Structure 1
Amino acid sequence: MRFDPFQGTLPLHPARRPIALALSSMLLASCGGGDSSGGPGASSQSLLARGGNEGPMQLRTVSNRADLISGGDALVEVQAPASMIASGVVQVTLNGTDVSPAFVRQGEDRLLGRVSGLREGSNVLEAAFRGGPAARLEVTNAPRQGPVLSGAQTRPFYCATPVPEAAHGTTPATNGSGLGGPPDANCNIPTEFTLYYRTTAAAGNAPGQCSLNLPDPVWNSNGITGAIPPQPAAPANPCWKPYTVGSTPADMASATTAAGLTVPFIVRLERGTMNRGIYDIAVLFDPAKPWTPVAPQAAWNAKVYYSFGVSTGQPRRQARSTIAWSGLEEQLRRGYLVVQNSMTDSSRNSNRVMMSETVMMMKEHIVDTYGRVKYTLGTGCSGGSINSNMNASIMPGLLDGVITTCTFPDSETTAMEVGDCTLLVEAYQKMRATPLWSGLPQAQVDAKKAAINGHPDPSGCHAWFNAFGSNGKAGVYLQRVVANAAGLVVTLPARTNNCELPNDAVYDPADPAKAALPRCNAWSWAESIWGRVPGSVAANDTRDNEGVQYGLKALLSGAITPEEFVVVNEAVGGTDRDSTPRAARSSADLPALRTAYRAGIVASGRQLANTAIIDMRGWDDSNITVPPGQVAGVNPIPIHHQWYSFAVRDRLVREAGDADNQALWRFASTGLTPPGTMFLDGLDAMDQWLLSLVADTRGKPLAGKVRDARPASTRDFCLIPGDATNTKVFDPAVCDADPFLRPSASPRQVAGGPRSEDILKCRLKPLDRADYGAAAFSEGQWARLQAVFATGVCDWKKPGVGQQLAESPLSFAAGPGGLPLPDAPVARRK
């Protein structure tokens, strides 16, 4: 059933019915993971093709669906009766060329081989036995630079170069690629392989200790001006040193994997480009032995550890990822293959469909190059948590599990708090000079702001304003920042933009001659997803605050007066498409709203229900009020508020019936960093969870299997701040009673919205005095309120405008808005 937002409310608990998308939502369930038995670790192509092959000869791509292949190669499996395989005369051809030598026998009835040389577009794979039984499979291959399904790539986009180059004219400075070869026109750079070994030195900052910073120089800068900073050098005492084949360095450490295999701690780093991003893949490696996707080396545990970068941004310049493989030595030691790509680094790419597509392409490359994957684990904090959760919602099945810290559900709904805080900070700036607040003690004013914001104090909204309040600016702008704790806002003198391009090369709202130049907000960066506003060069976007009654619950509780309630709603206003403040409220575009929900860009509880989640939630609600163990003011940007984890939980409960796939581990004293061994404990627990999951070959829907596989060690708990023993508390009521573990709220929730925070644009209802309880408005105040909300106020009992259940994954190859993927291609009898 598809939800029609104009016909009532969202259906409750659809997971208690058979989920129609239970199999198709496993788009690429672990892309080549597991065996071909059709379990949750098996590739979607294997899973869906099994029943569709005709006759005794079966043919399937293992690394991805046959219509979503990229990069020119694919791991392919042929299945036939054991007698045929034993005879050794099964022939496999690609576009009429014999590729049989690439195949190796796998068991009695299977052949497995990496097929290279796929041309862009349609290809034909055939497997035949002496001119008798034959199978034919059409394979569609996209280029290595993409796209596959995210639609037309945004241009201009400036490639990284071997050596950073200074800006000249309207051409920006380039980032250093970390690769020796030059980029081609599509930013493809030849892949390089480097060996490193881990030294025996302990990592740290004390004398004699080594640095886990990258052993090779990295260069990432804003590069907006023509100046080129010096290329940073490798650490003076690196923990990782280049390894020479055949040598035995005296300071080389050994690694004992989780399987008990002890090997020299040598890592092979593969660096290359995929989907215009620069990637690193690192894994334990024995240079004296071969490695093929058919026969991987034994030190690899067949598990993938995918790290997503923090923050968010949409620069038009290719760069390295901000995540360093060298800091993941524990994961490498255990046998994980660790991977990053700058197009899955949130600071380098805010197009979440393209981000998910990049994960798909990277996983396919890993299977094609390294072998089948048991499971894939996604991790990240802040922007990394956004990508972890959005990947599980936009293309469920790419990640089997996620471990997140400082969690946000997704970027669109997080942007609501950013936008609300930005508008409120500016409104408070206006109110500073009014008699309403000018004579009050600052502490009293701060308490009123906190009550409207839903935060412990104003520092949360101040942090959003400073860190991301200008991220939606489409063109050149002057940055405004909160300059002190009292909320004074000042304008910085330097003009800047969010594209990382010279100011003269981007859109300028003040210069009509530059109207068609690149726009620098997230919606224009992802124009292939959102589409353009008819008759405009601006992209559709989801920002909206029409009908939002800021401070409603603060009014009802008596924290603010009716006059303050009216004044703040008069002052708050909205923004236009350029993020320029205006008196009128912001209004979202209906096509963008529909796309956000259909595509899973608003993280869907139903889609997230298919993924094992461990959420480690620390304290970052304030830098003024802090729990025992923290020092006030240490974290200058307290934006990772605790309620976000509960927003994910609420979406799961509403759309999937329960949140039993989400483990919530709360702590506060150590800020955002999990204390002690918590993260490694989570890694162990998630490993147990996912190994149980991939071993479950029942035909039960995936969401149910995720819940069945959950180990007792992932039970929800909290650590009470100030408890030096770090004793786990399993009673949620005790946890919630602690002021530093109890979630606060957001401006939109104080305005009456749900904690799930997934209504981008509310439906409206007329103003009604009966809704305000004991709050008494004068006739003049009521008339002013009616003027502010001439079209009505939010009716939070109804679903949002355009809100509907996710249909993801969608393909945007045919244009913005997206279309559901067709059934995966299957081999047919020739």
Structure 2
Amino acid sequence: MMRRGRGARLVLLVAATGLLSGCGDDENSPTAAPPLSGTSIKILSGRADMVTDGDALVEVVLPTGAVPANLRVAVGGRDQSSNFALRSNGRVTGLVSGLAAGANVIEVTATNNSFAGARLTLTNAGINAPVLLSSHINPYICATPQPGTATVTNASGLSTAPTDTQCTTRTETKLYYRTLTAAGTGGCAFVLPDPSPTAANPNPTTPANSCFQPYVTGTTQAALIATTTPIGVTAAVPYIVRVERGVINRGIYDLAVLFDPNRPWTFESPQPQWAGKVVHNFGGSTGQPRFQARPNSSWVDDTALSRGYMVAVNSLTDSANNSNRVLVAETVMKMKEHIIEQYGELRGYIGNGASGGAINQNTVASIAPGLLDGLQIQLDFADSVTTAIEVSDCVQLVNFYAGPAWTGLMRQQGLSQAQINAKKTAINGHLDQLGCHSWSNAFGSANKPGNYQAVLVINAAGALFTSPTVTNNCRLPAAQVYDPASNPGGIRCSDPDAAIAVWGTAPGTNRANQTNDNVGVQYGLKALQSGAITAEEFVTLNEGVGGSDADSNLIPQRSTADAEGLRIAYRAGILVSGTQVSRVPIIDQRTPDEQGIHYNWRSFSQRDRLARDNGGNFGNQVIWRSNGGISLASRSLVAMDTWLNALNAQAPKASTNAVRNQAQILAAKPAAAFDFCYLSTDTSYSTQVRDFGICDSDPPLVIRSSPRQVAGGPRAEDILKCQLKALNFADYGNITFTTEQQSRLRAVFAGGVCDWSRPGGVNQEPSVSPLNFAAGPGGVPFAAEPVSTPI
């Protein structure tokens, strides 16, 4: 495949009827016909006003009878016509280079005036420049070929250093082949064949047990190379993979695809073993470090590669490296554009990933509908802002349980540890009390804006320990980071502060608007109603659970969200909208983690949003449940491939990022896409149970809840701040509170308690995504996409 540097270029696809046919083209002929009208230009790789890196795939639609040989193309007045030729696919394609930053005018005309021309203005930005955002977060420390010591940097996996502060780096390619060794125990492993340098090992080599080894043209023997048969290809091909690595949107990316080193590959004529589809692997966890890094997600994806899919990864679409969900969507947009321009037009762009990788898939589909054509979800979380509800609730609860009010009450009643744990379980809604321990330890400090010492739960009884290690979420030197007393203007390192270009700042502050709120939440309400906790325990709990302030410090008062933060979360689709995600096929692979953080109810929370926002219909989401002893990745990809093929046939996209609707998704749904589970007693995984009533009774698959649901909230768990009603003791039914307890509850809920019967929360409104944040925080709906005009 011919490669270019990172210089600008424009690729044009010209479609016309009557190619190279017709007469009367001589403009000097006295009988020459008037110019044919109807010429138009459209962008195939994205929006005309969001071109990046000087590249755009463009289609010029000529009127019937027009002769492409008479086509003249100019960009900014520069003639690029000599680059064009009639290709074997019946299209005239050409390469135009040199797009400037900002506006560029394409003009298409006829050299002999046989057809009318057209013009279109493209708006071009640098490959690492913001497009959907007004700015990218700074400081941001670029990775280097070797990990830095004097200036701390990560190893980039590239051989050249960045040339500017935007981490611009020369693109590189490598070839690897799949060995004949079987994968698994005693065999090879699907690990990265080019591990990053470290201080201890500055020149790492390919691990001997790697299933992929370096391919050297003319040296590697064909007899050493495994073969594979991609989807849609009848004959096996050598399993050789080309990996392109570079920097897009300041994130380090890899693109891996089956490749024949003996054949050319151009965007207009891709090699046939590529299915024209991409699996984008999104990485898990969540974080907001200010360091560029290699992706945590891996291109070494045998499931996808062996079937002819390209595998795409980018460090900024790994949730551990970037929790700004609009920046994630912007990065996907740029990745997709680059792939189309370099490798050819797409027949599908599919997400894949677990946990934080599920969050990124869901939020990209909600923030920027149409970027992803299918979601392969594992360990589902709908989004990060509503996941934070459970995190913050658990942090409040574990700290309350360890405090004097609760421990004193438990001691006063003479309860055993097992009895105490049962009460915590009833309040938390999980399998047992350990779930909230896991949340608090893993992400309890994720929104700390400054330097902190993590408070950790150290045993099953909930004892707390303060780590002696001082750290911060930016991973920057402590002196650079915010401190309310000594450095109030320092760099803030919380999750919302990493996306301040989206959220904006709270009035009179330099901090981002935030959505954390628990005003009016009656913790343990259903536990009280069931008799699992007493009236006194309920009152003591709500009296002492408190909240957190804008710096994520525990406070006696309840947490209060910023009104603008609530509006932005809903309007932008950052809180995932059931309407938006109904427009994409979803295969949800659910395995239990009921003592960790990945609870079964999360898949059904997404389903509840779909049903509510689509007249009860959630059919675009398929849930496959098991106890984790079987991988469903291959089955998922085959089913998704079939689904996309049907969609492409029945509802072809008018443009690469066009949005389908739920009816189209359902009409194309394949027979293999149905809900099922494997029961834990089915050790051979031979029986797919389609009755979820049966599945729900299987111990590992039981659907439990969360602290907010125990407090009366819906399973959709998308109410960031509840609407309130006056405290009314008649609402508690036959539960009796003493006069003193009533007085204490009135003090706690002076403004009222959550009224879950009212639809929606405070400032909750329908998503109007996609929003463009280029003009500043809050976002505005996209303007109409520019269209060509006649000349």
Fold conserved (TM > 0.5)?
yes
Alignment-derived partner of residue 455 in structure 1? 430
Amino acid at match of 1:688: T
- Structure 2 residue corresponding to 1:79, chosen from 54, 61, 72: 61
Indicate if the aligned counterparts of 2:14 and 2:61 stay in contact, CA closer than 8 A.
Answer: no
Amino acid at match of 1:192: E
Indicate if the aligned counterparts of 2:770 and 2:781 stay in contact, CA closer than 8 A.
Answer: yes
Q: How high is the TM-score relative to the length of structure 1?
A: 0.87
User: Which residues of structure 1 form unaligned runs of 5+?
Assistant: 1-31, 38-53, 221-227, 623-637
DSSP-derived class of the 2:454 partner: strand
Shift of 1:181: 1.2
- Structure 2 residue corresponding to 1:344, chosen from 307, 310, 317: 317
* Distance in 2 (alpha carbons) for counterparts of 1:219 and 1:505: 27
Alignment-derived partner of residue 17 in structure 1? none
* Distance in 2 (alpha carbons) for counterparts of 1:230 and 1:459: 39
Shift of 1:571: 1.4
Aligned pair in 2 of structure 1 residues 116, 773: CA closer, same or farther (>3 Å)? farther
Shift of 1:197: 1.3
- Structure 2 residue corresponding to 1:561, chosen from 534, 544, 548: 534
Alignment-derived partner of residue 521 in structure 1? 494
* Distance in 2 (alpha carbons) for counterparts of 1:683 and 1:796: 39
Matched, 1:694 2:663: no
Aligned pair in 2 of structure 1 residues 102, 810: CA closer, same or farther (>3 Å)? farther
Q: Deviations over 1:639-682 (max 9, x none)?
A: 00011111100000111121010001111253xxxx15x22111
* Distance in 1 (alpha carbons) for counterparts of 2:205 and 2:43: 43
- The answer to which of 421-430 and 720-729 deviates more is 720-729
Matches within 5 A, 1:393-792: 393-430=366-403, 431=405, 433-437=407-411, 439-509=414-484, 512-622=485-595, 638-657=596-615, 658-668=617-627, 670=629, 675-676=630-631, 678-697=632-651, 702-726=661-685, 727-792=687-752
Indicate if the aligned counterparts of 2:410 and 2:420 stay in contact, CA closer than 8 A.
Answer: no
Alignment-derived partner of residue 215 in structure 2? 243
Amino acid at match of 1:641: Y
- Structure 2 residue corresponding to 1:802, chosen from 763, 785, 788: 763
Shift of 1:219: 5.7
Alignment-derived partner of residue 9 in structure 1? none
Indicate if the aligned counterparts of 1:669 and 1:722 stay in contact, CA closer than 8 A.
Answer: no
Greater C-alpha radius of gyration: 2
Amino acid at match of 2:748: V
Q: Deviations over 1:269-326 (max 9, x none)?
A: 1000011100000011112222111111111110001100010000000001111212
Aligned pair in 2 of structure 1 residues 272, 434: CA closer, same or farther (>3 Å)? same
- Structure 1 residue corresponding to 2:49, chosen from 67, 75, 81: 67
Q: Deviations over 1:232-265 (max 9, x none)?
A: 6531332212212233424222222122232221
DSSP-derived class of the 2:683 partner: coil
Identity %: 49
Shift of 1:432: 5.2
Number of residue pairs matched by the alignment: 745
DSSP-derived class of the 1:73 partner: coil
* Distance in 2 (alpha carbons) for counterparts of 1:313 and 1:701: 32
Shift of 1:139: 0.3
DSSP-derived class of the 1:755 partner: coil
* Distance in 1 (alpha carbons) for counterparts of 2:586 and 2:532: 37
Aligned pair in 2 of structure 1 residues 213, 698: CA closer, same or farther (>3 Å)? closer
DSSP-derived class of the 2:529 partner: helix
* Distance in 1 (alpha carbons) for counterparts of 2:726 and 2:665: 44
DSSP-derived class of the 1:267 partner: strand
* Distance in 1 (alpha carbons) for counterparts of 2:85 and 2:390: 55
Shift of 1:114: 4.2
- Structure 2 residue corresponding to 1:299, chosen from 249, 273, 285: 273
Q: Deviations over 1:512-556 (max 9, x none)?
A: 231111111110000000001122111101111111110011011
* Distance in 1 (alpha carbons) for counterparts of 2:507 and 2:356: 31
Aligned pair in 2 of structure 1 residues 792, 287: CA closer, same or farther (>3 Å)? same
Alignment-derived partner of residue 20 in structure 2? none
Shift of 1:731: 1.3
Indicate if the aligned counterparts of 1:75 and 1:113 stay in contact, CA closer than 8 A.
Answer: no
Amino acid at match of 2:188: C
Matched, 1:89 2:70: yes
Shift of 1:78: 1.4
Aligned pair in 2 of structure 1 residues 235, 647: CA closer, same or farther (>3 Å)? same
DSSP-derived class of the 2:650 partner: coil
* Distance in 2 (alpha carbons) for counterparts of 1:60 and 1:352: 28
Aligned pair in 2 of structure 1 residues 698, 148: CA closer, same or farther (>3 Å)? closer
Matches within 5 A, 1:348-427: 348-427=321-400
Indicate if the aligned counterparts of 1:717 and 1:729 stay in contact, CA closer than 8 A.
Answer: yes
* Distance in 2 (alpha carbons) for counterparts of 1:515 and 1:390: 32
Aligned pair in 2 of structure 1 residues 117, 205: CA closer, same or farther (>3 Å)? farther
Indicate if the aligned counterparts of 1:77 and 1:110 stay in contact, CA closer than 8 A.
Answer: no
Shift of 1:36: 9.0
Q: Deviations over 1:14-71 (max 9, x none)?
A: xxxxxxxxxxxxxxxxxx9x9999xxxxxxxxxxxxxxxx942121111111111111
Matched, 1:154 2:137: yes
* Distance in 2 (alpha carbons) for counterparts of 1:126 and 1:561: 77
Aligned pair in 2 of structure 1 residues 36, 803: CA closer, same or farther (>3 Å)? farther
Aligned pair in 2 of structure 1 residues 782, 200: CA closer, same or farther (>3 Å)? same
Q: Deviations over 1:610-658 (max 9, x none)?
A: 0000101111112xxxxxxxxxxxxxxx100011111100000111121
* Distance in 1 (alpha carbons) for counterparts of 2:98 and 2:467: 54
DSSP-derived class of the 1:359 partner: helix
Matches within 5 A, 1:258-297: 258=231, 259-297=233-271
Q: Deviations over 1:176-201 (max 9, x none)?
A: 00111111221111111111111111
* Distance in 2 (alpha carbons) for counterparts of 1:437 and 1:151: 55
Indicate if the aligned counterparts of 2:14 and 2:60 stay in contact, CA closer than 8 A.
Answer: no
Matches within 5 A, 1:88-127: 88-105=69-86, 110-127=91-108
Amino acid at match of 1:273: V
CA RMSD of aligned residues (A): 2.0
Aligned pair in 2 of structure 1 residues 508, 36: CA closer, same or farther (>3 Å)? farther
DSSP-derived class of the 2:583 partner: coil
Aligned pair in 2 of structure 1 residues 737, 210: CA closer, same or farther (>3 Å)? closer
Indicate if the aligned counterparts of 2:14 and 2:92 stay in contact, CA closer than 8 A.
Answer: no
Indicate if the aligned counterparts of 1:359 and 1:398 stay in contact, CA closer than 8 A.
Answer: yes
Q: How high is the TM-score relative to the length of structure 2?
A: 0.91
Q: Deviations over 1:459-509 (max 9, x none)?
A: 110000000011111100011100001111110111111001122221123
* Distance in 2 (alpha carbons) for counterparts of 1:653 and 1:253: 46
Aligned pair in 2 of structure 1 residues 778, 299: CA closer, same or farther (>3 Å)? same
Indicate if the aligned counterparts of 1:245 and 1:287 stay in contact, CA closer than 8 A.
Answer: yes
* Distance in 1 (alpha carbons) for counterparts of 2:324 and 2:197: 23
Shift of 1:435: 3.4
Indicate if the aligned counterparts of 1:85 and 1:108 stay in contact, CA closer than 8 A.
Answer: no
Amino acid at match of 1:679: A
Indicate if the aligned counterparts of 2:295 and 2:318 stay in contact, CA closer than 8 A.
Answer: yes
DSSP-derived class of the 2:387 partner: helix
Q: Deviations over 1:678-717 (max 9, x none)?
A: 2211111111111101111489962211010111211111
Aligned pair in 2 of structure 1 residues 317, 733: CA closer, same or farther (>3 Å)? same
Aligned pair in 2 of structure 1 residues 182, 159: CA closer, same or farther (>3 Å)? same
Indicate if the aligned counterparts of 1:147 and 1:153 stay in contact, CA closer than 8 A.
Answer: yes
- The answer to which of 694-703 and 811-820 deviates more is 694-703
DSSP-derived class of the 1:526 partner: helix
Amino acid at match of 1:476: N
Indicate if the aligned counterparts of 1:552 and 1:565 stay in contact, CA closer than 8 A.
Answer: yes
